[in-house]
Each structure stands twice: as structure tokens, then as C-alpha cells.
Amino acid sequence: MGIPLAGALLAPLAIASGVGYALLAPPRHGRRWLVVYERGFVDARRAEPARVVLWEWTLGRVEAGVIVVRLDGAAEPTRVALDGLEPHADLVDAIDQRVTPVIVAHLLAAVRHGEQVVFGPLAVSADAIAEVTDGVHLPLERLRSVRLVGGDRIVIGEVGAARAWFSGAVPAAPVAVRVIAGLRPTASVIMPDPAETLAERVRQRRHRAVASLAGLVALALLPGVAWAAVGPTDDEEPAGPVSTRAASPSSESTASPTPSLSPGLPESVFQYSAACVGRGFPGAPAYQGAGPHPIHVHDGPSVRGPANWYTEDVTKIQLVICGASSTGRVLRKCEYLGIGNDSRDVTQDMVLGRYAMEIREARTARVVGQVRFDGEDDKCRLGLFGRQVDEKQQVSVPFGSQIEAALTKYVDAYVE
């Protein structure tokens, strides 16, 4: 740096050499190649055979970044760890977005067959959510909303309650939210939009690229600036004017838009609810051919038809069920003796629940049918818990057989 010309030449060379070494040096765990395509992904490490994994081979997730798969022809499951890929978060997200619906579908099928699924402090069954520590239950018909916060916390709202029924960290929180929403389609589900998350990451990456490039340019110009500040000595001829022009970082730092993984399809099955307001998804399969035609239920009473009516695969949804409900006449009185802290008697009206469902094609959002029925299950609750004591009425709900009978002619029919 003592010789101005040598410093001006050697400083950028030293910086470029350091950056080149950082980029070209092999990572701690060795080199790895990961390729994501429409049916799965390929994972290859140096000196190891490549593993080809299809999305449908996914069995579950052990922890963040570790999935369990059964490879083709393998007798035992295999753990695939997506570690060491922090700089490539978009790639990991692409795998997670495809793997999560498969895991959710497995868990929903297990719950619907009578099993209980545990997510840390919460246990989910076909009829209720329970806190593992104290055993407090929330019947699914009382579930008002489920919200994912910060990627690892869940907030669950109860019908008629001002405060959250549960709020806390839950392992595999995105999966837990989707399982709960699949069991209670009428609940309000709030999750971050993957497109917005990706856009924010692209903006952050662009800002880091601009800052890094500006720092490198400043370091490269530092020797020349220092020499210009000192200036030539009296016995030296002043150097002629030198024109310098720094390259514009805009073209290098602007991230190209990330293409959608599935053009014309939503990111998750929950976004098919947009069909209820007239927005179709051109990438969805047409409502035609032999049944069953997989459904997504946006709103209305809980629909528990055969397992083959449901799927978490956005490429298979053909129908969207849009529900609405109202109440009718009083059917009977539900009387409870010695309820609450003050042991008072409570009487509530059992009113008739009236339900309407509009069946729409997922691809075009056109209405293919409408059904209406009354809730025939008008049994009073066995007991009242918490804020149920202050409610004025109960509403009759349909039996699962009612809903299944009403929708069968659309879901299981052969369509020309």
C-alpha cells in the first residue's frame, strides 16, 4: 500500500482472491447436488450413489429439515436430512411445499380411522383437540379459527370466546395447522402466503447483493482515493486526469423472479376456497370422467365422507364445496342442573340448523350443483363447559350420512 500504483492493483486482486476461495472451497460436509423436479427430488453427494425420491414416498417428518421416506424397493424407511442448505432456502422450501401435503394426507387418514396424532402439547383426534398436559378438550365443532404465527406457533380460537383457547409453540406447526383445518373445514385458517414469504426473501437477497457489491467497489477504490488525498509531491509531475467508472450493480443484484412450481394451481388446497367467489384455477383437473372427484370443503358443516374423497395434492382437486348455514325454529329445551361455579340451573334452546352447499368446479369455478338439508342430529350436549354455560342456544347439525348422501351424486358420479 506504500506504493500507490501497486496498492491500487493488488488490493482488488487480494479481495477477488479471498471471495474466490470462499466460493470455491468445498463445504465442511463435502459437495452435494440437490435437484427438485415435478415428481420429486434427487439427492447426490460425492462418492455416494444418488437417491431419487418421489413425493408420494414421503412417510413423515422427524424434525425441521429431516424427512422420512421409503425409497423404491427398500424394506426400511430412510432419513433424508436437508442440512447444510441454509444459503439455498428457496430450494428447501420447494421440497417442503411438496412434502407437507403428503404428510398431512397420511395424518388425516390416520385420524379419520380413529388414531390420535400428537404435536408436542396438542393431541388431535377426529372429534376434538386436547392439551396433553392437563387433558382439556376442545370439541371440533367449537373450533372457530387456527392461526400459524412465526412458523412455529399456533393460536386456536374457540367459538364465542374472546381469548385464545391455546397459544404456544408446536412442533411441525404448519403440518398441525393443516391437519386441524382438514378436520374442521368451517374454521378460519390463517397462514402466511408462501408467495409473500418468497418475495420478501428475494428482496432481502437483493439488498444483501447490493450492499456486498457496494462494499467491494469501495474497497477496490480505497487505494486510489488514499493516493489522491495525499497527492503528488512537489518534484513530481501531476498525473493526467484518469476517468473511472464503477459498474452499476443494478443488473447484477436484481434477482430474477422465481417461477411458480405449479402454474395455474394454488400453493395449497386451502386456497381452492377462492372458487367460492368465482375464481377458478386453470391448472386444476377438469370435472369429468369416473369418480371419485376429490373435493375441498371451504365452509359449512364438517364433511366426513370416504377417504378417497380427500387429498392434499393440489393437482387432483376437482370440486370445491361452498357451504352456508342458518337457523330455524326451536325444537326443544336443553336443561342442565347445578351448572357453573354458582351451581345455577341453565336452560338453552335447541334450534334447527339449516344448511346449504354449492358445489363448484375447481378449474372454472362454475356451479355444478346445489344441495340443502336440515341438521337431524338435535341431541342436547351431555354437559356444558367453560363459556358454553353462557350461550343461549344450541344448533342441530347434520349426520355424516346426510352429507355423504347429498354429495355422492356429484363426487362419485361419472361425468361426460
- 226 CB neighbour count, 10 Å cutoff: 13
* Digit-coded pLDDT (tens) for 385-397: 777 788 889 999 8
Query: CB–CB of 180/144 below 8 Å?
Result: no
How do 295-299 and 58-63 pair as beta strands? Answer: unpaired
Q: What is the pLDDT of residue 37?
A: 84
Gyration radius (Cα) of the chain, Å: 30
Nearest to 30 by CA among 51, 14, 46: 46
Task: Render each residue's pLDDT in the chain as its tens digit; 416 residues.
Answer: 455 666 666 767 777 777 666 666 655 556 778 888 888 888 887 777 888 888 888 887 666 678 888 887 777 888 888 766 655 667 777 787 788 888 888 888 888 888 888 888 899 998 899 998 888 889 998 888 888 887 788 889 888 887 889 988 888 888 888 899 888 877 777 766 454 445 555 566 666 667 777 776 776 666 666 655 555 544 444 444 444 444 344 434 334 333 334 568 888 888 898 898 899 999 999 999 988 999 988 765 555 567 788 888 899 999 998 888 889 999 999 887 766 556 678 889 999 999 888 999 999 999 999 998 898 888 888 777 777 788 889 999 888 788 888 888 899 888 88
- 153 CB neighbour count, 10 Å cutoff: 13
CA distance 199 to 209: 15
Element (H, E) at 84: none
Q: What is the pLDDT of residue 257?
A: 38
* Digit-coded pLDDT (tens) for 103-136: 888 888 888 888 888 888 899 998 899 998 888 8
